Chain A
């Protein structure tokens, strides 16, 4: 199409610069209506956009209490890999321990350099510091070497193929009840709620089922909290509190701060 004369960017490179500037909130040297438009589109959140926060957190809790099959598969795979690595390392340790260790470290650079060679045989199940905290009941921070001969897969609540537990259903119910009434029926058609529908014996029973399971419907509190892009409270909270997955999982959802 033919463009009428405008102050639009002359070429792709100029467009790229303008897009980057808008994303970063850097005004250009000369006033540019197009920059204002893009910057407005990328403006910080308004509270209404965050109204689904408690619902998302409920989903997070539900997922934590019952890891998805996909996650379980991945963990199994990682476990297998770790087992194989430990086996190879153990074998090689007899001959050239140093080289083997270096090789293992190079193989898995994304993980803390826990020495699998020191616990050959014992780490077949979970020798690698998993990113999932449930496999690390010692609560040692990331980076701390964990030679976890005592950790068992059973530490994770909810293995693959396990029927949905009460905890998970409670989480799903909270997520369900947090939805506006008009969206509930539609939500039940999604796979995310399939377990709940099955447990309740049908979509039409979910409402009653959930009210029994979660006596008090989760209040749908419109979050007025401001999004914090630079120095969020989350960042400070993270740095001060050690990761305590169990506490986080069992903690009651706090709808305490609607104001």
Chain B
């Protein structure tokens, strides 16, 4: 945890409102993005619940990695939410976003260059949940593999493997998005590849597998 963040945690525990605001601004974007992958369009609601609980339980935070503490709360709230909804983690929006990504020449052309945050998250969300979570906890929340493993209740090695598989899949997706645009130019020296299957389909159909446990 960065010194700045832990300072803010201590100050917020002492009642410093500005410190809490700082925590919110530092952590909310990552939490919201992670939650979007877990619960889709309900992410904002679940993020609100998460901050309610963070506010309430802040005095009981006794040290350690604050990011991990908050993301664990977020994850629990997301799992509760999904139980309430009686459905498993699904990825309704992202798949559609991916189709648009693959179908839209401009987007695809730009995919590797100046891809936007939403499109990037949409792509990551097409991964199997375990891989998506590993990638998001590592790259977006900023945890190391050990800490991410604690959040997920899995061994660090399993997190590394899942993240690695996820990255390989993402690389293949990007590769495909680019090769699907033979006349795209974009300084791409690679010869156009024959389209295997319909380019708008993710290589792995999104599983309805639970994110964990």
Task: Using CB atoms, name the residue of chain A closest to B4.
Answer: A235
Interface check B18, CB cutoff 8 A: yes
Task: Using CB atoms, name the residue of chain A closest to B122.
Answer: A41
Q: Is the CB of A60 within 8 A of B20?
A: yes
Q: Is the CB of A235 within 8 A of B7?
A: yes
Q: Which of B44, B51, B142 has the most CB of A within 10 A?
A: B51
Interface check A216, CB cutoff 8 A: no
* Contact residues, A204-259 vs B (CB, 8 A): 225, 227-229, 232-235, 237-238, 243-245, 248-249, 251
Task: Using CB atoms, name the residue of chain B closest to A223.
Answer: B25
Q: Is the CB of A41 within 8 A of B55?
A: no
Task: Using CB atoms, name the residue of chain B closest to A229.
Answer: B26
Q: Which of A34, A55, A61, A251 has the most CB of B within 10 A?
A: A34
Task: Using CB atoms, name the residue of chain A closest to B8.
Answer: A234
With both chains docked as a complex, state the minimum distance between the C-beta of B155 and any C-beta of chain A, in angstroms: 13
Q: Is the CB of A6 within 8 A of B117?
A: no
Task: Using CB atoms, name the residue of chain A closest to B84.
Answer: A189
Q: Which of A15, A232, A249 contacts B15 (CB 8 A)?
A: A249
Q: Is the CB of A238 within 8 A of B8?
A: yes
Give the tally of cross-chain contacts (CB within 8 A).
236
Decide if the interface of chain A is mainly helix, strand, loop or mixed.
helix
Q: Is the CB of B60 within 8 A of A74?
A: yes
Interface check A201, CB cutoff 8 A: no
Chain A residues lying within 8 Å of B170, measured Cβ to Cβ, are: 8, 34, 37
The digit string for A175-194, where 1 denotes a CB below 8 A from any CB of B, is 10001000100110010100
In which size bucket is the chain B interface? 35 or more
Chain B residues lying within 8 Å of A43, measured Cβ to Cβ, are: 117
Task: Using CB atoms, name the residue of chain B closest to A52.
Answer: B48
Q: Is the CB of A40 within 8 A of B11?
A: no
Q: Which of B4, B113, B169 has the most CB of A within 10 A?
A: B4
Q: Is the CB of A192 within 8 A of B53?
A: yes
Known: A34-B171, A49-B32. A41 touches B124 (CB 8 A): yes
Q: Is the CB of B14 within 8 A of A183?
A: no
Chain B residues lying within 8 Å of A20, measured Cβ to Cβ, are: 138
In which size bucket is the chain A interface? 35 or more
Interface check A11, CB cutoff 8 A: yes
Q: Is the CB of A52 within 8 A of B59?
A: no
Chain B residues lying within 8 Å of A227, measured Cβ to Cβ, are: 25-26, 29
How long is the Cα–Cα vector from A238 to B161 in the complex, in angstroms?
Answer: 41
How long is the Cα–Cα vector from A33 to B188 in the complex, in angstroms?
Answer: 12
Interface check A164, CB cutoff 8 A: no
Chain B residues lying within 8 Å of A34, measured Cβ to Cβ, are: 167, 170-171, 174
Q: Which of A4, A38, A40 contacts B119 (CB 8 A)?
A: A40
Q: Which of A56, A70, A235 contacts B60 (CB 8 A)?
A: A70
Task: Using CB atoms, name the residue of chain B closest to A192.
Answer: B52
Q: Is the CB of B168 within 8 A of A6?
A: yes
Task: Using CB atoms, name the residue of chain A closest to B142.
Answer: A23
Q: Is the CB of B21 within 8 A of A57?
A: yes
Q: Is the CB of A12 within 8 A of B8?
A: no
Q: Is the CB of A33 within 8 A of B15?
A: no
Pairs of residues from A and B, 8 with the lowest C-beta to C-beta distance, nearest first: A33-B112, A8-B171, A234-B22, A245-B15, A71-B59, A45-B29, A40-B120, A227-B25
Q: List 26 A-B contacts (CB under 8 A).
A: A3-B168, A4-B172, A6-B172, A8-B171, A19-B163, A33-B171, A37-B124, A40-B120, A41-B33, A41-B117, A41-B124, A45-B29, A49-B32, A56-B55, A57-B24, A60-B55, A60-B58, A67-B59, A68-B56, A68-B60, A74-B59, A142-B10, A142-B14, A187-B48, A187-B49, A190-B49
